[in-house]
């Protein structure tokens, strides 16, 4: 299916609603707007297989551009609008983008970007004058281009452990713009989504899951509600107002909603929800328990990466019987391996690989592509975990985040999951910092719910709280406080930035 099909069958149905402004685009409008975008790309000399980049805030034109690129046979790269000019320029050059679609919200960076990526043409929405992209866009025909062909995204890793890398996928073998794909089949088969879906997307569209899932809903003929920026109470208001049936979250969204006052949470009717999906980061067990108690058994979870090499899934009922699991595999066979790439016995921890999942390459980085596979050809995202006798996968942490203190391997995730359940903690990161005796020591960096609480008294309270659950070797030797942690808007933590700070690497910066 494709939005153009729904434009004919149900043209007046809302395809998109912007949560803050209430601006609405129907399916017939989306069809015409994406046709204009496709003509605009052709008018700029872009041919099938060429690459464009999109870097702007959540707004109506975002879907004009991605659907226009999709039906023009282009490779479209979504870039975070929170990056600096050098970081954006790096992705523009690395991806081979010929055109950058952006908006005046990025005006403070555009001159610098032009200097750093002079070969990349800029198309800017919201400018005054003849070079306003919106004015040019409106002059384009709203009928299909003559050489329609299905395009594909190329999305970049979040860069939480290093420079981001583009996951390059070939153009679809089937050139039909309405051809199905694996995600669409998963949305229907595993998650039960259909054309009646009212889907709430609270995250930035430049990230893989929000962009791909919103486009999947458009393929099905549902309505997508996009939040310009996440706010916990506003999300609840939207669920009630639009009778949202389906949504996708990250655990930090859950934490923020759960820490709203009880009387605020109780004000809103969330009974319309049929499927609330979460992914992108591990969810602490108490947080997920609380969400299921609140919303009912509508919480679904999956584990996957932009690379598309594997996919696990489970529903609330399964999770309650296998707490902490991220599910059984629906794509690829799970293989837990040791340092030599050989499988370990059931129940033992090791690096998570998938056999037989989707193939992928990291753009312009054959070494990284090679390192993602072991001697058997199985591929990994770099996470560590285990499987139980029933085949359910449990994540331990990322291999690169492991702390080695006095020869003991310590995974930060367990400690972080415990800290965020404390009533005075909004967010937490645990890292390894230099220690003259043990090589590394465990350090907890905490964002208090109330910044005024930061200090020795709260540190003592958190220490006593953790002592009830953690062995001595896992206990943080140091607790520091920050007003805000460097967390990606998609929920992933830039732990590398904190770690580099403690190890004295002053040149570290966010690059995703």
Domain boundaries, the chain: 3-177, 180-306, 332-401, 402-502
Q: Give the pLDDT band of residue 177 (cuts 50, 70, 90).
A: very high
Q: Does residue 279 surpass a pLDDT of 90?
A: no
Q: Using CA atoms, how far apart are residues 304 and 331, in angstroms rounded to an integer?
A: 9
Query: What mean pLDDT is predicted for residues 348-361?
Result: 91
More confident residue, 404 or 216: 216
Query: What mean pLDDT is predicted for residues 310-328?
Result: 95
Q: For residue 119, how many C-alpha atoms fall within 13 Å in the half-sphere facing its CB?
A: 9
Query: What mean pLDDT is predicted for residues 280-296?
Result: 90
Is domain 3-177 given the CATH code 3.40.50.12780 in the classification?
Answer: yes
Q: Using CA atoms, how far apart are residues 446 and 462, in angstroms rounded to an integer?
A: 10
Q: Does residue 244 surpass a pLDDT of 70?
A: yes
pLDDT at 490: 62
The pLDDT tens digits for 470-500 are 878 889 999 999 999 988 666 677 777 888 8
The pLDDT tens digits for 434-482 are 887 777 899 999 999 999 999 999 999 999 999 998 878 889 999 999 9
pLDDT at 509: 38
* Angle subtended at Cα 5 by Cα 4 and Cα 8, rounded to the nearest 5 degrees: 90
The pLDDT tens digits for 81-134 are 888 898 899 999 999 999 999 999 999 999 999 999 999 999 999 888 777 899
The pLDDT tens digits for 189-205 are 888 899 999 999 999 99
Give Cβ neighbours of residue 82 (< 8 Å, ≥ 6 apart). Answer: 489, 510
Q: What percentage of the chain reaches a pLDDT higher than 90?
A: 68
Q: Give the pLDDT band of residue 158 (cuts 50, 70, 90).
A: low
Query: What mean pLDDT is predicted for residues 210-224?
Result: 96
pLDDT at 512: 32
pLDDT at 350: 92
The pLDDT tens digits for 37-96 are 999 999 999 999 999 999 999 999 999 999 999 999 999 999 988 888 988 999 999 999
- Residue 337: phi, psi to the nearest 5? -125, 155
Domains 3-177 and 180-306 agree in fold: yes
pLDDT at 162: 58
pTM of the model: 0.82
Please give the full DSSP string across 55-85, using - where no structure is assigned: E--S-HHHHHHHHHHHHBT-EEEE--TTS-H
Nearest of 464, 474, 490, 484 to residue 430 by alpha carbon: 474
Whose structure tokens read 């016995």?
345
Q: Give the pLDDT band of residue 399 (cuts 50, 70, 90).
A: low
Q: What is the CATH number of domain 332-401?
A: 2.30.38.10
Query: What mean pLDDT is predicted for residues 227-244?
Result: 97
pLDDT at 159: 55
Q: Give the pLDDT band of residue 152 (cuts 50, 70, 90).
A: very high
Q: What is the CATH number of domain 180-306?
A: 3.40.50.980
Q: Using CA atoms, how far apart are residues 277 and 193, in angstroms rounded to an integer?
A: 11
Average pLDDT across the chain, whole number: 90
Q: Which residues pair with 157 in a beta bridge?
A: none
Q: What percentage of the chain reaches a pLDDT higher than 70?
A: 95
Q: Does residue 510 surpass a pLDDT of 90?
A: no
The least confident of 22-36, 372-386, 487-501 is: 487-501
Q: Using CA atoms, how far apart are residues 96 and 32, in angstroms rounded to an integer?
A: 28
The pLDDT tens digits for 332-348 are 999 999 989 999 999 99
pLDDT at 506: 42
* Angle subtended at Cα 259 by Cα 254 and Cα 265, rounded to the nearest 5 degrees: 85
| Superfamily of segment(s) 402-502 | ANL, C-terminal domain (3.30.300.30)
pLDDT at 87: 85
């Amino acid at each position: 299916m494709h939005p153009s099909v729904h434009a004919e069958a149900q043209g007046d149905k809302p395809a998109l609603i912007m949560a803050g402004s209430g601006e609405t685009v129907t399916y017939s409008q989306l069809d015409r707007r994406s046709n204009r975008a496709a003509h605009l790309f052709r008018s700029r000399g872009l041919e099938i297989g060429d690459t464009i980049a999109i870097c702007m805030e959540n707004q109506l034109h975002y879907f004009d551009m991605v659907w226009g690129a999709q039906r023009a046979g282009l490779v479209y790269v979504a870039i975070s609008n929170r990056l600096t000019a050098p970081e954006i320029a790096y992705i523009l050059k690395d991806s081979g983008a010929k055109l950058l679609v952006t908006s005046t919200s990025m005006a403070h960076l555009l001159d610098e970007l032009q200097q750093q990526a002079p070969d990349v043409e800029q198309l800017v929405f919201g400018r005054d004058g003849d070079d306003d992209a919106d004015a040019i866009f409106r002059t384009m025909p709203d009928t299909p281009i003559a050489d329609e062909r299905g395009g594909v995204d190329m999305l970049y890793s979040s860069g939480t452990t290093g420079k981001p890398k583009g996951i390059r996928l070939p153009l679809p073998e089937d050139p039909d713009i309405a051809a199905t794909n694996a995600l669409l089949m998963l949305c229907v088969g595993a998650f039960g989504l259909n054309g009646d879906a009212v889907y709430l997307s609270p995250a930035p569209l430049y990230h893989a899951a929000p962009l791909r899932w919103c486009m999947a809903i458009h393929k099905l003929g549902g309505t997508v509600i996009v939040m310009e920026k996440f706010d916990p109470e506003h999300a609840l208001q939207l669920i009630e107002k639009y009778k949202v049936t389906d949504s996708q979250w990250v655990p930090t969204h859950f934490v923020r909603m759960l820490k709203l006052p009880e009387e605020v949470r109780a004000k809103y009717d969330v009974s319309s929800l049929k499927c609330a999906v979460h992914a992108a980061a591990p969810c602490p067990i108490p947080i997920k328990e609380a969400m299921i108690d609140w919303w009912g058994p509508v919480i679904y979870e999956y584990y996957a990466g932009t690379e598309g090499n594997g996919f696990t899934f489970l529903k609330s009922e399964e999770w309650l019987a296998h707490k902490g699991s991220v599910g059984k595999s629906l794509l690829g066979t799970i293989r837990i391996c040791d340092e030599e790439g050989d499988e370990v016995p059931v129940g033992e921890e090791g690096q998570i690989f998938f056999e037989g999942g989707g193939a992928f390459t990291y753009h312009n980085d054959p070494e990284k592509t090679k390192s993602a596979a072991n001697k058997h050809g199985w591929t990994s995202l770099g996470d560590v975990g285990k499987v139980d006798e029933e085949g359910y996968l449990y994540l331990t942490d990322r291999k690169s985040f492991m702390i080695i203190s006095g020869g003991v391997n310590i995974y930060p995730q367990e400690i972080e999951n415990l800290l965020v359940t404390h009533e005075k903690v909004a967010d937490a990161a645990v890292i390894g910092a230099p220690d003259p005796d043990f090589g590394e020591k465990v350090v907890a960096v905490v964002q208090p719910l109330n910044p005024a609480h930061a200090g020795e008294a709260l540190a003592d309270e958190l220490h006593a709280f953790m002592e009830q659950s953690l062995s001595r070797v896992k206990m943080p030797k140091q607790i520091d406080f920050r007003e805000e942690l460097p967390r990606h808007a998609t929920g992933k933590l830039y732990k590398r930035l904190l770690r580099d700070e403690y190890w004295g690497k002053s040149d570290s910066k966010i690059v995703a």
